[in-house]
Structure formats: C-alpha cells, structure tokens
Amino acid sequence: MLDPVSENIDVAIRQGPLVDSTLVAERLMKTVYSVCASPNYLALNGTPLQPSDIAHHQCLTFPLPGFNSTWKFRIKNTPQHVEQVNIKSRLTVNLGVVLKKCAIDGAGLGLLSDWLIGSSFEDGELVNVFPEHQITATNFETMVWIVYPSRTYIPEKVRAFTSFLKDKLS
C-alpha cells in the first residue's frame, strides 16, 4: 500500500479498513463479499455445505491483515451470531482481477467483492458458495474509500475526479 504523501499521489482508492488516520477518506461505496469458486473446482473438491467446511479447502487470499487467515460468516439479517473460520491458502495475490481469474480457473475458493465479480455468477464462471451468508475478512461494514493527503488544499483535479467517481458509483 503506497503512502500518498511520500509518493506524491493526489488520490488513492482503497478497499477495506483504513489504517492511516492522517489521510482524508471519503466513503465511495459499500462492498459485499462472497465466497466463490468455479464449477470445476467444486466438482473436483466438493461443495462446502457450511462455513466450517472451508477449513478443508484451498482458499485464494489477499495479502492484507485478516484476508489470509480468518473469514467471518453470519446468516443474512442475523447479526448476533458470527462464525469465524480459519482458512488455509496456497496462493496469495495482491490484485483482485488476478484472484478472480485464479478462482475461475479452479485454483480454490476466493473471497471476492461484488463489484469485482460482476456477472460471473450469471455467466456460470463462478458459483456463490454461501448465498445465504454475509461474509468478510475484517468487518461487515466494508467500504471502498477515496483517500487523499489533505483537506486544507484539494486540487481542482482531485475534486473533479472525486465528484465523477461518486456520481458513477452511487
């Protein structure tokens, strides 16, 4: 993760929990995660029937805290019961589109965000393994953020870009 101040970056887009409180962050959109796998992977390895079953599968992970060790599940509209499942991963990738491609190619179960999955469920490339659950690696209120270094001076290009993104993603 690059530091916008030291790297002279005007604006960054980040998904998940924010770790640097010195930056200005604005909520861009909510994101929802699903555990996904290719039909071929599930045919060869079996379909997990309950969240604890994923402990016996290979998972595809991001190199972010929580994403590569424990996934959390709760049945939709039942926030009081959260089940944490320790996962094992043989593949960690820091680019979502590559992680999605690995899942499509049958490398394992992936925890992928809704905006990344797109039409993969409808196209039959991926299967939503737990459609009745909300799933996360960190917390259930995960967001995509637009982040920039300062509120004191915001260049017009940053204002325009931020406004454009908010309009398109609202």
Statement to judge: residues 21 and 37 lie in one domain: no
The amino acid occupying position 163 is S
The alpha carbon of residue 47 and the mean position of all alpha carbons in its chain are separated, in whole angstroms, by 21
On whether residue 18 sits in a domain, the answer given is: yes
Statement to judge: residues 159 and 99 lie in one domain: no
* Beta bridge partner(s), residue 136: 72
Statement to judge: residues 42 and 117 lie in one domain: yes
Statement to judge: residues 110 and 123 lie in one domain: yes
**What is the chain's percent helix, strand, coil content, to nearest 5?**
25, 30, 45
Statement to judge: residues 22 and 48 lie in one domain: no
pTM as predicted: 0.80
Statement to judge: residues 163 and 101 lie in one domain: no
CA distance 110 to 150: 35
Q: How do residues 2-54 score in pLDDT, each as one tens digit?
A: 677 777 778 888 877 777 677 888 888 888 999 999 999 999 999 999 999 99
Question: Among 15-19, 111-115, 156-160, which is the least confidently predicted range?
Answer: 15-19
Q: Given the DSSP bridges, would you call strands 127-128 and 24-30 parallel, antiparallel or unpaired?
A: unpaired
Residue with tokens 């790297």: 7
Q: 122: domain CATH number?
A: 3.40.190.10
Q: How do residues 142-154 score in pLDDT, each as one tens digit?
A: 888 888 887 778 8
On whether residue 1 sits in a domain, the answer given is: no
Statement to judge: residues 84 and 126 lie in one domain: yes
Work out how many domains the chain is built from and give that number: 2
Statement to judge: residues 20 and 60 lie in one domain: no
Statement to judge: residues 130 and 151 lie in one domain: no
Residue ranges of alpha helices (H) inside the chain are 39-45, 96-104, 114-117, 120-123, 156-169
Statement to judge: residues 91 and 158 lie in one domain: no
On whether residue 6 sits in a domain, the answer given is: no
Integer-rounded Cα radius of gyration of the chain: 17
The domain in which residue 23 lies consists of 12-29+145-169
CA distance 137 to 62: 10
On whether residue 105 sits in a domain, the answer given is: yes
Statement to judge: residues 70 and 153 lie in one domain: no
Whether 49 contacts 113, CB under 8 Å:
no
